[in-house]
Amino acid sequence: MSPAPGSADDSTGTFFWLSSSGRATADPADGFWSDFARLDDMAAANPWLVGTYDFAEDFPHWEMHPEGDEIFIAQSGDFVLTLERDGTRSDHSLKGGQSFVIPRGAWHVLRVIAPGRIVVLTAGKGTQHRPL
């Protein structure tokens, strides 16, 4: 269901799919991650997923996006992003007001120094996870 033009719902309660034609579709966050087959179908038709997350705890796993870059835009908080590419790890600070582009195919994990909110834009098709 798409939001009414100009609506101001809680941004953490809705994900947005952006199609290559420029159409944005809203998807309620409640139960969003429960049907991975549906999410994969949505990602095939809508290459970008936009979501707002309140992070109070570290990522529970590593994550990687093979289809495109991922953008983190920190609204508040203090974080450390660890990237792993070609067997090399690097740490990157991310604080409220800053943004960071995670390159396509880079494994990454987020550690919370101080809780905060991050807007995430992801080319989500084919997202992979692995244990810490």
Where along the chain do its domains lie? 13-130
Cβ contacts of residue 7 below 8 Å, gap of 6+?
A: none
CB atoms within 10 A of CB 57: 9
Report the C-alpha gap between 25 and 101 in whole angstroms: 23
Among 27-31, 57-61, 104-108, where is mean pLDDT lowest?
27-31
| CATH 2.60.120.10 for the 13-130 domain, yes or no | yes
Range scoring the smallest mean pLDDT among 2-6, 59-63, 71-75? 2-6
**Angle at CA of residue 64, ends 111 and 39, nearest 5°:** 110
Which of 56, 91, 53 is closest to 75 using CA atoms?
A: 53
Q: How far, in Å, CA of 83 to CA of 102, rounded?
A: 8
